[in-house]
Amino acid sequence: MSEQVLRAEKADAADELAGVRERFVLDTASDHAAGAAGVYLDGNSLGALPAHVPGRVEDVVRRQWGELRIRSWDESGWWTAPERIGDRIAPLVGAAAGQIVVGDSTSVNVFKALVGAVRLAGEGRDEILVDATTFPTDGYIAESAARLTGCVLRPVTPAEVPAALGGRTAAVLLNHVDYRTGRLHDLPALTAAVRAAGAVSVWDLCHSAGALPVGLDEHGVDLAVGCTYKYLNGGPGSPAYLYVRQGLQDSFDSPLPGWNSHTEPFGMRPEYEPAAGAVRGRVGTPDILSMLALEAALEVWEGVTVDAVRAKSLALTDFFLECVEAYLPAGRVDCVTPVAHEERGSQIALRCPDAGDVMRRLIERGVVGDFRHPDVLRFGFTPLYVGFADVERAARVLGEVVRRP
């Protein structure tokens, strides 16, 4: 047995989150011809299914919709689900209750947040800074938000933000963790710099929420958005969320003031009067089936702290890097994820020219990560269900794949 296999066994035996894995539906050894269980390292794209969710969704469909029908808007709590589930996500991102509302996609929430941020910044500020390395949708939406608000859009890397801030900066849109490299940006320092310049911060938490502490309230973040289908395991296309800091809620002016955000939605009044609180971030009728699947999925967090998740995430990614070094020929892949813990999210990205082909063959062998154009192998580590033996096996199979033509 290799040193790495023994180390994995020991680490799994000492893992305080090991039992949480049973809350998920994952492959077993019999699912694969090779006789070994698959390894799922793609929870940073689509989190695995919590085992109790199908039964809960069935109840929502058969009983709440099938039997109670329209009564469920009140009796099953459908109408208030966006705020209720927002409060459930809040402790995972370091927010007090009443500041997060769930609904729409991340892209739509980026639009609400960014246009809302420019409106909050007020007169005389006509520049939006956007993370030049951002996931593309944020960049596309920022370009449109800039045109709509009469702002100039300036793409800068997060490291360049402090120097780029000035009296004209209205809003700054940043990613907490870079989707391609897995780099964790310094949210406390960047938020403080944006605040000091008199601008409004907007953070995209897609790759950090559920994987590491965010500390939205503690660090004075103004606005934030994130998806729920990655480390929050809400399911394919599960609704995203919008955080508006409490102190800004009364002046938040949503560019999508749908009837669900009205102070009296059933008053059917022709004039718009925004509701107080997080509800102001709502737009139209919530997508109840996805939303209640997400609500059920969030129960896997019972008894789990984000700090424990972070500690395990760092141990898993450290161990993966060590195994890659032990099992792969030197120089065959280049790690683009920072080695320093304070700069690392919960993924490892390895660069090699034939990454697309390597990932295809890895998936054939039951090791599922993903490929990001043009040359990145991306492996996401969800501490709730990934163990150290998984990590060892993934790196070993990667070593075998890259050795074979």
Ligand X SMILES: Cc1ncc(COP(=O)(O)O)c(C=O)c1O
Q: Which stretch binds ligand X (CB under 6 A): 7-15, 113-121, 133-141, 392-400?
A: 133-141
Q: Measured between alpha carbons, how far is 162 from 201 in angstroms, rounded to an integer?
A: 12
Q: Is 230 a catalytic residue?
A: yes
Q: Is 125 a catalytic residue?
A: no
Q: Is 378 a catalytic residue?
A: yes
Q: Which of 204, 287, 295, 390 binds ligand X (CB under 6 A)?
A: 204
3-state class (DSSP) for residue 372: strand
Q: In 177-230, at which residue ranges do the beta strands (DSSP E only) sit?
A: 200-204, 223-226
Residue 212 makes contact with ligand X by CB under 6 A? no
Residue 240 makes contact with ligand X by CB under 6 A? yes
Burial of 304 (0-12, 13-18, 19+ CB in 10 A): middle
Q: Measured between alpha carbons, how far is 12 from 387 in angstroms, rounded to an integer?
A: 6
Q: Which of 26, 57, 137, 375 binds ligand X (CB under 6 A)?
A: 137
Question: Binding-site residue total for ligand X (CB under 6 A)?
Answer: 13
Q: Measured between alpha carbons, how far is 134 from 232 in angstroms, rounded to an integer?
A: 21
Residue 233 makes contact with ligand X by CB under 6 A? no
Residue 379 makes contact with ligand X by CB under 6 A? no
Q: Which of 78, 179, 241, 243 binds ligand X (CB under 6 A)?
A: 179
Please, are residues 202 and 170 in contact by the beta-carbon 8 Å criterion? no
The catalytic position among 204, 222, 287, 370 is 204
Q: Which of 135, 203, 241, 319 binds ligand X (CB under 6 A)?
A: 135
The catalytic position among 21, 230, 245, 393 is 230
Please, are residues 73 and 93 in contact by the beta-carbon 8 Å criterion? no
Residue 227 makes contact with ligand X by CB under 6 A? yes
Instruction: Return the half-sphere exposure (C-beta side, CA atoms, 13 A cut-off) of residue 270.
Output: 0
Residue 388 makes contact with ligand X by CB under 6 A? no
User: Measuring CA to CA, which residue among 140, 82, 86 is closest to residue 110?
Assistant: 140
The catalytic position among 24, 40, 179, 229 is 229
Q: Measured between alpha carbons, how far is 41 from 311 in angstroms, rounded to an integer?
A: 17
Residue 206 makes contact with ligand X by CB under 6 A? yes
Residue 138 makes contact with ligand X by CB under 6 A? yes
Q: Which of 105, 157, 246, 305 binds ligand X (CB under 6 A)?
A: 105
Minimum CB distance to ligand X smaller for 171 or for 324: 171
User: Measuring CA to CA, which residue among 307, 286, 304 is closest to residue 233?
Assistant: 304
Give contact residues for ligand X (rule: CB under 6 A). Answer: 105-107, 135, 137-138, 175, 179, 204, 206-207, 227, 240
**Residues forming the active site:** 135, 204, 229-230, 378
